[in-house]
Amino acid sequence: MRTLLRWLIKMVVSLLFLIVLAVAVVIFLKIPLDLTPFREPVEIALSQAINRTVKIEDSVTVSTSLSPYFTVKGVLIENPEGFQTANFLSMDLIRIQLDLLPLLKRKIHISEFQVQGLHVTLEETADGNVNWISGSSSETQKKQSSGPELTHLPNSSERRSGLASDTLVLRNLDLQDLDVSFHHPDLEKPARFQLEHCLGKMLPGNPLHLDIDGTSLGFDYSMNITVGSLEELLLHNTSWMEMQVEIAETTLNFTSNVDLATATKSLFLQTTVQGDNLASLNDLLQIDLPPFARYRLDTGVQLRPDDYELHRLHIQTGESSLEGTARILVSPDTTSIDVQLHSPLVQIDDFVFDNWSWLGEPVDTVKVDEEETVDFSKIKENRKTKEPPISTYNESLIRDFLTQYECSLLIEADKVVSGDDDLGGGLLRALVHDGRLKVDPLMFRLPGGKIEMMASIKPGIEKSDADLKVLMKNFNIGILAHRVKPDSKMGGLINLDIDLHSNAATMNELLENGNGYFDFSGELENFEAGIIDLWAVNLVAAIVSNAEKKKSRLNCAVGRWSATDGLLQSDAFFIDTDKIRICADGAVNFKNERIDVNVKPRAKRPEFFSLATPLEVHGSFSDIKFGLGGGQIVGTAIKFVASPISTPIQRIFKSKIPADGSDACTMQLGAEGREEIVVPLCQK
């Protein structure tokens, strides 16, 4: 009896030992278990849950121990019928290792979360169905319209009960080869976002940190993201986020503090964008941006439902800077944009580029080596046969923008400079209302003068009223001369007075149908007349003489043109030097893009052996030709031979014309007195 009892005790102890040993092995040893033979029930359950076919094409493996891992290879989720792409999601591998003991305390500690080869294909069909929502879009809208079932929503204290700083811990996040593509009928090729590598972790009391590298739309990028710790969230009901993105030679920084109590109503995001050249974003954004150098944008973005505001907006490029605010209000009918900016300094050089135009027109550049000879005739011939370039900006997009948005722009500049030249201050006010673009005014306050411009046009298919007014008083042309040659002493004051009214849908049509006037004048300083005077002075004396002690100067150029339905006709057009006055008469037709002008030089003092041969200028804007009219050579020869007889008589009876051109150079511009214009030596 005792022997039997002893054997029973030994058997029980041995059995308990085996059980403890088995438990110990399961707890402390990682023994992989292949569950691949049981994958079919899992596929069926998942397919029924998401209403689309789910397949596990490779293996399913779990392991024992207190930190077991779960690994699935070859996951595939197919698209429903009606989509062109076969699969919605494919994944090479997903691996999760979880600590079991913290689960007893209702805490989730993930030792490893690894995903490899995740490819997601998002697709939207022509009728609006999308593959990332189960069911059709119409069914989804019905569910949304019926409203969610009302349930008890826990308050903040209930949400935080039982939570601690180590409730959620992620020791190692490793994502590799993630790819998201978007297909749409309007896109020529899918838009792709690729994530090559993402490493991250979130430990107790520490923020979540992610380091990401990948490719977006063909551009390599790197991203660093830091999110406030769970401990901060639990203690203060707030969190924060910092993000830095580097893409297309551009650095973007975002910082935000989030108050969960108001996060759904308002969110503030501090934003910085900077780079060495703004045009580096062209291919990424598919637009043509100006090549601003050393640019930086800082602002605080306030996000509310249908209301977006930029606080403390600061833009810097080169020496120029802008400060102010911007606001966007979205309504069912339209979107309103209000921008108000102030600049302590605007440097014109920061906005003038060699190979880029603000009007979206192509800029021709010809590179010439030091010893290379360029045949400009061939270049001209090639331009004739070459197809016209496509404009950078799409006019239909501009029209759509103007009809969908109401905009107000105000920019004030304390100081505007061009290089070292002071242009004074400036003001720009622009409005977009009911599809009409209006600039009123664009103004520069010049030292001793001003420039003002007003323009109004409604781009579209149908023509409407359009206006262009420009008034320039006493603009120092030396500023332009200094841009070409910094040590130049050439200068003078330029005046411009333009007033055109038209029925047009584009700026080109405004000129083609314009009515009004186009006047300009320039009183020049330190411009040498040079060979121009040989046109009408004593040719023999000028050739025999080695040099003149006092060189002749250009005094002024004046043009007053009346516009009628796009046809400019000269009321007065002349160039004045110390010795001659070059008179011109003709027309410029903007509809036909043609110019026809006759040019006649007149010596201020009748000269012996003077040529004074009239010239004719004819042709299209792209192919202007100069030549002599019929009989002009014969007439010039007769006057040249007869000059010893006719010149003394002319000097007796002709009145003297001032060498400085003061009798005509000070002519007033504008709408008044156009029928009473008299230019000595240039009477018709």
CA 650 to chain centre: 64
- Residue 251: φ, ψ to 5°: -110, 130
- Residue 291: φ, ψ to 5°: -80, 60
The rounded percent of the chain whose pLDDT value lies above 90 is 34
- With bands split at pLDDT 50, 70 and 90, how would you rate the model's confidence at 150? very low
| Model pLDDT, residue 60 | 92
Instruction: Determine the average pLDDT of the residues in 215-220.
Output: 86
Residue 61 located in a structural domain: yes
How far separated are the first and last CA of the chain, in Å rounded?
Answer: 150
Q: Which of 183, 212, 231 is the last residue of a domain?
A: 231
Residue 610 located in a structural domain: yes
pLDDT digits (tens, 9 = 90+) for 297-335: 999 999 888 899 999 999 999 999 999 999 999 988 889
| Model pLDDT, residue 607 | 56
Instruction: Determine the average pLDDT of the residues in 187-208.
Output: 90
Instruction: Determine the average pLDDT of the residues in 18-42.
Output: 77
Peptide bond into 441 cis (omega under 30): yes
Least confident of 132-141, 162-171, 570-579: 132-141
- Residue 57: φ, ψ to 5°: -90, -10
| Model pLDDT, residue 654 | 61
pLDDT digits (tens, 9 = 90+) for 568-579: 999 999 989 888
Residue 480 located in a structural domain: no
- Cα 501 to Cα 516: distance, rounded to the nearest angstrom: 6
Residues 6+ apart with CB under 8 A from 324: 313, 339, 340, 341, 342
Q: Tokens representing 138?
A: 């119409």
Name the most confidently modeled range: 173-177, 403-407, 537-541, 544-548.
Answer: 173-177
- With bands split at pLDDT 50, 70 and 90, how would you rate the model's confidence at 26? low
- With bands split at pLDDT 50, 70 and 90, how would you rate the model's confidence at 81? confident
- With bands split at pLDDT 50, 70 and 90, how would you rate the model's confidence at 449? confident
Q: Looking at per-residue confidence, does 271 or 11 come out higher?
A: 271
Full domain range(s) for residue 102: 17-130+166-231
Q: Which of 192, 212, 231 is the last residue of a domain?
A: 231
- Residue 180: pLDDT over 50: yes
DSSP secondary structure, 442-483, as one string? EEEEETTEEEEEEEEE--SSS-EEEEEEEEEEEEETHHHHHH
pLDDT digits (tens, 9 = 90+) for 588-616: 999 888 999 988 888 776 654 455 567 88
Instruction: Determine the average pLDDT of the residues in 19-46.
Output: 79
Instruction: Determine the average pLDDT of the residues in 82-106.
Output: 91
pLDDT digits (tens, 9 = 90+) for 246-260: 999 999 999 998 776
Instruction: Determine the average pLDDT of the residues in 373-389.
Output: 41
pLDDT digits (tens, 9 = 90+) for 47-71: 988 888 999 999 999 988 888 899 9
Domain count, the chain: 2
| Model pLDDT, residue 265 | 74
149-156 LR contacts (CB < 8 Å, sep 24+) = 156/237, 156/260, 156/261
Q: Which of 231, 254, 284 is the last residue of a domain?
A: 231
Residue 1 located in a structural domain: no
**DSSP label at residue 662:** T
- With bands split at pLDDT 50, 70 and 90, how would you rate the model's confidence at 506? confident
| Model pLDDT, residue 446 | 80
633-636 LR contacts (CB < 8 Å, sep 24+) = 636/611, 636/612
- Residue 179: pLDDT over 90: yes
- ∠ CA(448), CA(451), CA(455), 5° rounding? 165
Instruction: Determine the average pLDDT of the residues in 450-476.
Output: 89
Residues 6+ apart with CB under 8 A from 638: none
- With bands split at pLDDT 50, 70 and 90, how would you rate the model's confidence at 405? confident
Instruction: Determine the average pLDDT of the residues in 460-476.
Output: 88
Please, what is the average pLDDT of the chain? 80
Residue 183 located in a structural domain: yes
- Residue 145: pLDDT over 50: no
| Model pLDDT, residue 27 | 65
- With bands split at pLDDT 50, 70 and 90, how would you rate the model's confidence at 536? very low
Instruction: Determine the average pLDDT of the residues in 509-537.
Output: 76
- Residue 382: pLDDT over 80: no
Least confident of 10-19, 110-119, 128-137, 374-383: 374-383
14 to 3, 25, 373: CA distances (angstroms): 16, 16, 103
- Cα 399 to Cα 505: distance, rounded to the nearest angstrom: 10
Residue 431 located in a structural domain: no
- Residue 264: pLDDT over 70: no
Residue 291 located in a structural domain: no
- Residue 649: pLDDT over 80: no
Residue 398 located in a structural domain: no
Residue 268: is it exposed, middle or buried by C-beta count within 10 angstroms (0-12/13-18/19+)?
A: middle
CA 588 to chain centre: 35
- Residue 284: pLDDT over 90: no
| Model pLDDT, residue 28 | 65
Instruction: Determine the average pLDDT of the residues in 498-509.
Output: 89
| Model pLDDT, residue 611 | 52
- Cα 114 to Cα 174: distance, rounded to the nearest angstrom: 5
